[in-house]
């Protein structure tokens, strides 16, 4: 099968606590709930792309535990092609411990487990699908050598490569070989600041930050700005193109996976023929809708909801 979107990345079980605030060192705090959700940035982006309407294939590595089975079943139930999915029976599935505060803000600690075992060799095994995909979507919860290999192999084919640099690595540590093979870099404000040292807090600083990211090598940069929407910058013979897309105001319940929703919907729309402007609009709508429900997987919107929200503001 030639996928619209191929995601190479992480899959995890999210262990989510509702907390009144971040505890101090040595303090014990009472949370108000505990739930588990299927998550992981790669998994969330694959689900988002599939729900937005694309044919999606996932390459990732699960552990030989119950969590791995639940994650795999969820991918399949959402119509995602899992022929390239791998299971390592010697290790557990990736875990994310997430604290969600009263305003929907979150803190996340991940333990890579099986995600840390996805290797460049695993990518090589899947090269035929990677080179046939229209869009390849990457993040940084699997080893960076594996992400780099995926970008390089994808560019042997026709794919547009999108990198969500999350979690953000220290400034200067992303390999040049990776950035040179990225078409669209999609950080959020925090990741953009870590990568550039510029805090994108207003229009001028956001633009300066985006241009500095563009200088790292990708063909385009989209900084997601939460309630401020998204800013895209790209360079062509005509000069620098800028595009600011406004967000969709919503009541935030839990912002977990909003960035993943954006990336999945963006990749889905680009792979199915939309313009960059329309694809970013769908990304903003997906990110906004993902904030309105608790948890990663349950919050990722379906195509009909995305269409309705985008149509509400033309
Ligand atoms: O981006 C949100 C995701 O980050 C969560 O689902 C969690 O698994 C962490 O990896």
Residue 98 lies in a domain: no
Q: Which atom of ligand 1 is nearest to the CA of 296?
A: 6
Residue 122 falls in the annotated catalytic set: no
Strand pairing class (230-236; 220-224):
antiparallel
Tens digit of pLDDT for each residue in 20-44?
999 999 999 999 999 999 999 999 9
Mean of the pLDDT values across residues 205-233? Answer: 96
- Which CATH number do you get for residue 152? 3.40.1190.20
78 lines ligand 1 (CB under 6 A): no
Residue 251 lies in a domain: yes
Q: Is residue 313 very low, low, confident or very high in pLDDT (cuts 50, 70, 90)?
A: confident
Name the average pLDDT for the chain: 96
Q: Which atom of ligand 1 is nearest to the CA of 259?
A: 1
Q: Which atom of ligand 1 is nearest to the CA of 297?
A: 6
Residue 110 lies in a domain: no
Domain that holds residue 48: 41-91+115-312
Residue 18 lies in a domain: no
User: H helices of the chain, where?
Assistant: 41-51, 66-77, 120-125, 127-132, 144-154, 176-179, 189-196, 203-214, 258-271, 276-290, 303-311
**pLDDT surpasses 90 at 211:** yes
pLDDT on residue 171 = 86
**pLDDT surpasses 70 at 97:** yes
**pLDDT surpasses 80 at 10:** yes
Distance 142 CA to ligand 1 centre (A): 12
Residue 121 lies in a domain: yes
The structural domain count of the chain equals 1
Mean of the pLDDT values across residues 189-210? Answer: 96
Q: Is residue 314 very low, low, confident or very high in pLDDT (cuts 50, 70, 90)?
A: low
260 lines ligand 1 (CB under 6 A): yes
Distance 221 CA to ligand 1 centre (A): 22
297 lines ligand 1 (CB under 6 A): no
Residue 140 lies in a domain: yes
Residue 200 lies in a domain: yes
Distance 173 CA to ligand 1 centre (A): 22
Q: Is residue 237 very low, low, confident or very high in pLDDT (cuts 50, 70, 90)?
A: confident
pLDDT on residue 236 = 84
Q: Is residue 251 very low, low, confident or very high in pLDDT (cuts 50, 70, 90)?
A: very high
Q: Which atom of ligand 1 is nearest to the CA of 43?
A: 6
CA-to-CA dists, residue 71 to 13, 85, 116, 154, angstroms: 7, 11, 16, 25
Distance 133 CA to ligand 1 centre (A): 24
What residues are paired with 6 via a beta bridge?
57, 136
Distance 27 CA to ligand 1 centre (A): 25
Q: Is residue 2 very low, low, confident or very high in pLDDT (cuts 50, 70, 90)?
A: confident
Helix axes 41-51, 258-271, angle to 10 degrees: 50
Phi-psi region of 26 (alpha: psi -120 to 50; beta: other; left: phi over 0): left
Mean of the pLDDT values across residues 247-252? Answer: 94
Q: Quote the pTM value.
A: 0.96
pLDDT on residue 190 = 95
Residue of the CA atom closest to atom 7 of ligand 1: 40
Residue of the CA atom closest to atom 6 of ligand 1: 39
Environment class of residue 312 by beta-carbon count within 10 Å: exposed (0-12), middle (13-18) or buried (19+)?
Answer: exposed
Tens digit of pLDDT for each residue in 67-95?
999 999 999 999 999 999 999 999 999 99
Q: Is residue 1 very low, low, confident or very high in pLDDT (cuts 50, 70, 90)?
A: low
Residue of the CA atom closest to atom 8 of ligand 1: 40
Q: Quote the longest CA-to-CA distance of the chain.
A: 58
Q: Is residue 104 very low, low, confident or very high in pLDDT (cuts 50, 70, 90)?
A: confident
């Amino acid at each position: 099968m030639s996928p619209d979107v191929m995601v190479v990345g992480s899959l995890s079980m999210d262990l989510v606590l509702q907390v009144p605030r971040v505890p101090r060192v040595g303090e014990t705090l009472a949370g108000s709930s505990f739930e588990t959700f299927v998550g992981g940035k790669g998994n969330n982006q694959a689900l988002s792309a599939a729900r937005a309407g694309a044919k999606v294939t996932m390459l990732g590595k699960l552990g030989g535990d119950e969590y791995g089975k639940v994650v795999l079943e969820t991918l399949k139930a959402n119509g995602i092609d899992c022929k390239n999915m791998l299971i390592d029976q010697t290790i557990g599935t990736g875990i994310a411990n997430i604290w969600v505060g009263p305003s929907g803000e979150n803190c996340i600690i991940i333990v890579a487990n099986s995600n840390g075992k996805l290797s460049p060799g695993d990518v090589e095994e899947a090269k035929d699908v990677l080179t046939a995909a229209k869009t390849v979507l990457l993040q940084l919860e699997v080893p960076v050598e594996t992400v780099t290999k995926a970008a390089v192999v994808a560019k042997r084919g026709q794919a547009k490569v999108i990198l969500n640099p999350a979690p953000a690595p220290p400034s200067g540590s992303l390999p040049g070989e990776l950035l040179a093979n990225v078409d669209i870099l999609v950080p959020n404000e925090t990741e953009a600041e870590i990568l550039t040292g510029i805090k994108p807090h207003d229009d001028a600083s956001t633009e300066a930050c985006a241009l500095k990211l563009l200088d790292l090598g990708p063909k385009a940069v989209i900084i997601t700005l939460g309630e401020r929407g998204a800013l895209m910058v790209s360079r062509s013979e005509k000069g620098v193109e800028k595009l600011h897309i406004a967000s969709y105001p919503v009541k935030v319940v839990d912002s977990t996976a909003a960035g993943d929703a954006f990336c999945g919907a963006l990749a889905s729309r680009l792979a199915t023929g939309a313009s960059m402007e329309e694809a970013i609009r769908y990304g903003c709508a997906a990110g906004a809708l993902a904030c309105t429900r608790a948890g990663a997987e349950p919050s990722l919107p379906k195509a009909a909801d995305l269409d309705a929200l985008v149509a509400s503001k033309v």
